[in-house]
């Protein structure tokens, strides 16, 4: 039997394990990326391992989240720390202003057939080039930089069979929104979403990257396209033809499931508040007043996206509606340079758009928060409640085409009403200027790492005992996000100061949570389905660990967050019977006994001391994960193995 693209890349990188869905395996990592919201902690962890130089083919440290450097010295100090550490340890450093990590990596570094591990959940963007690109916690990335393999459950592979061609005013964003509508935010768990079929050839690499980027919202391990003539054309235009290799599924390749999408039947779609899978057709919401429109983020900030936006304004003679605030965030300096040279930037300015820096910006709540109760249409990938910085804002996720139509008319409008669709051709040659990517020092001994006062020592976890006791500090519902656990926005400047950042834990739900946790000496958290979805930020595990949270008991967990909890010695446990969720209340006293035996048998008994009841729990850990938890987390486990 032939192999699919996923199998070909994964199996060429296998270190150990079985190629059986659900079984743990280890793969070799070729490249890593970090960004400044997760990178400082990842590099502190890398330092703690005592490895003198990264062992990957390529590692890149990007600054793209906190480039405003607002409110004090913290962000600027951390960026100086990141640059000096990168220089010393053999890591390339992408300076503030060079662009969003996923867009820049797609343009300048991604290589078909290689593996990429990134401390950001949208690392699968590079799957648009034919890479196995996986988001993970910073500690997993640190281990990979040190030469260690990455552990994952071998995935099922879902084929999304594309046929036909997108019609005018319909884009790649509508394709992934259609898939989210069908599968939901949990539909990709344990799977790689692989795209194939004759329709693939009609999609450019930036369009493919839009689709793989938002595959993270499906909960998928990653998403991937084949590497074909379109990929070669893109890499040649980036002056990287030598990086291209063809990767295609065999004619008799097997897939665990197949989903058919006729591109010609896809229509403009929109995700309603407050979830990326709350999707409907744009025409169903036409006429709704819009207060804000934002185009950008790692999902839709390519040259193609912004030139299309510009051309719509130019050819129609349109202006931004007087009651709408519109912003544009170019994905990279390359994109910004090229739309400027092609006069696309001036057309956007003339239309009344506000031009922001080439960063994540409003996507993570760093600036451009909507007014109270406002409707904001964004080409971003997430619309969780409060993520924009405004708790009661209503954020909708859309394509650039839908965003422009709303900006022009001031209400949600089907873009097919805008007339003739502008044609934007991919450049035969992109503008190449890598001067804002700083290579590492040739002589590391001459580099002194700069550390500001906000950089605090890495907290350590103690080995797991055989029993745990404590109170339920908070009980939560379904789809709790890592933004709910440790919010982004203005809190991100404390990413290298865990004692301070821990004050944010669940702050939007219970402002006194951190005080309660400290007073109780730690305790437990109860959650519903899909606990920890969203961003890969490991602080959502690291900060609770600092607050001595000992276990999270939920109906189910998002993949990256479950791994992060294990990395930091917190037990992620699931109810054997989901109905038992109702048998535990906030402030109940809980007790776990005989934990070591339970970890090895996958059956743990939880005693609710308050209600005098017992509940059966399960975990599904691999032997490696059991050993990791017993050691008190991955850093302890890795360090012990190295001795």
As annotated, the active-site residues are: 64-65, 120, 382, 535, 537
The gap from C-alpha 407 to its chain's centroid, in whole angstroms, comes to 27
Nearest C-alpha neighbor of 92 from the set 105, 102, 76: 105
Distance in angstroms (rounded) separating the CA atoms of residues 80 and 8: 40
Residue 408: C-alpha distances to residues 289, 397, 414 (Å):
12, 17, 12
* All residues at 6 or more sequence positions from 3 whose CB lies less than 8 Å from its CB, including other chains: 11, 249, 250, 253
Q: Give the three-class secondary structure for 39.
A: helix
**What is the CB neighbour count within 10 angstroms for residue 18?**
11
Distance in angstroms (rounded) separating the CA atoms of residues 342 and 158: 40
Give kind and range of the element (H or E) at residue 574: strand 571-575
Beta bridge pairs of residue 92 = 60
> If you write DSSP's letter for every residue of 228-297 in order, what string do you get?
-HHHHHHHHHTT-GGG---B---TTB--SEEEEEEGGG---EEEPTT-TT-EEEGGGGTT-B--EEEE-T
Residues 131/34/18/564 CA torsion (nearest 10 deg): -140
Contact 266, 176 (CB under 8 A): no
Distance in angstroms (rounded) separating the CA atoms of residues 231 and 316: 32
In the chain, how long is the greatest CA-to-CA distance? Answer: 72
Q: Give the three-class secondary structure for 126.
A: helix
Give kind and range of the element (H or E) at residue 470: strand 468-475
Beta bridge pairs of residue 474 = 525
Distance in angstroms (rounded) separating the CA atoms of residues 259 and 161: 6
């Amino acid at each position: 039997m032939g192999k699919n693209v996923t199998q070909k890349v994964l199996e060429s990188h296998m270190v150990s394990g079985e190629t059986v869905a659900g079984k743990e395996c280890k793969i070799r990592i070729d490249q890593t990326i970090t960004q400044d919201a997760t990178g400082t902690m990842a590099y502190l962890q890398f330092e703690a391992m005592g490895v003198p130089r990264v062992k990957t083919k390529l590692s890149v440290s990007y600054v793209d989240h906190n480039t405003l450097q607002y409110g004090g010295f913290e962000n600027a100090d951390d960026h100086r720390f990141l640059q000096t550490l990168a220089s010393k340890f053999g890591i390339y450093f992408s300076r503030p202003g060079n662009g969003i990590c996923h867009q820049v990596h797609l343009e300048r570094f991604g290589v078909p057939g290689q593996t990429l591990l990134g401390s950001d959940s949208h690392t699968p963007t590079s799957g648009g080039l034919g890479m196995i690109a996986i988001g993970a916690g910073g500690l997993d990335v640190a281990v990979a930089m040190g030469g260690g393999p990455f552990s994952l459950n071998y995935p099922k592979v879902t084929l999304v069979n594309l046929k036909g061609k997108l019609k005018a005013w319909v884009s790649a964003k509508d394709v992934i929104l259609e898939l989210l509508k069908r599968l939901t935010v949990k539909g990709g768990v344990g799977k790689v979403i692989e795209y194939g079929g004759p329709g693939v050839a009609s999609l450019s690499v930036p369009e493919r990257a839009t689709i793989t980027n938002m595959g993270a919202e499906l909960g998928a391990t990653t998403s991937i396209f084949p590497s074909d003539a379109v990929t070669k054309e893109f890499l040649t235009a980036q002056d990287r033809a030598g990086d291209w290799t063809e990767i295609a599924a065999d004619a008799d390749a097997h897939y665990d499931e197949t989903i058919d999408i006729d591109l010609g039947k896809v229509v403009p779609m929109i995700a309603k508040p407050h979830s990326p899978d709350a999707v409907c057709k744009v025409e169903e919401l036409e006429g709704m007043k819009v207060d804000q429109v934002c185009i950008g983020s790692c999902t839709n900030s390519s040259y193609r996206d912004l030139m299309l936006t510009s051309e719509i304004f130019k050819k129609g003679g349109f202006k931004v509606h007087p009651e709408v605030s519109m912003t544009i965030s170019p994905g990279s300096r390359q994109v910004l340079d090229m739309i400027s040279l092609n006069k696309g930037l001036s057309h956007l300015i003339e239309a009344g758009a506000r031009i922001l820096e080439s960063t994540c910006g409003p996507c993570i709540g760093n600036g451009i928060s909507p007014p109270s109760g406002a409707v904001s249409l964004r080409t971003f990938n997430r619309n969780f409640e409060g993520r924009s910085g405004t708790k009661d804002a209503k954020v909708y996720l859309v394509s650039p085409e839908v965003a422009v139509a709303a900006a022009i008319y001031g209400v949600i409008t089907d873009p097919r009403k805008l007339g003739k669709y502008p044609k934007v051709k991919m450049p035969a040659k992109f503008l190449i200027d890598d001067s804002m990517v700083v290579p590492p020092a040739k002589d590391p001994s001459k580099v002194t790492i700069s550390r500001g006062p906000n950089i605090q020592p890495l907290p350590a976890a103690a080995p797991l005992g055989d029993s745990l006791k404590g109170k339920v500090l908070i009980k939560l519902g379904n789809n709790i996000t890592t933004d709910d656990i440790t919010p982004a926005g203005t809190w991100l400047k404390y990413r290298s100061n865990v004692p301070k950042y821990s004050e944010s834990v669940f702050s939007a739900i219970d402002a006194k949570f951190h005080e309660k946790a400290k007073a109780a000496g730690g305790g437990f958290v109860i959650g519903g389905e899909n606990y920890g979805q969203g961003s890969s930020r490991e602080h959502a595990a690291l900060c609770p660990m600092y607050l001595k949270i000992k276990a999270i008991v939920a109906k189910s967990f998002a993949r990256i967050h479950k791994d992060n909890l294990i990395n930091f010695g917190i037990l992620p446990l699931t109810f054997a019977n989901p109905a038992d969720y109702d048998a535990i209340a906030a402030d109940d006293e809980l007790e776990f006994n005989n934990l070591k035996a339970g970890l090895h048998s996958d059956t743990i008994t939880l005693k609710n001391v308050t209600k005098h009841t017992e509940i059966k729990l399960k975990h599904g850990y691999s032997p490696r994960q059991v050993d990791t938890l017993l050691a008190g987390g991955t850093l302890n486990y890795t360090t012990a193995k190295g001795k």
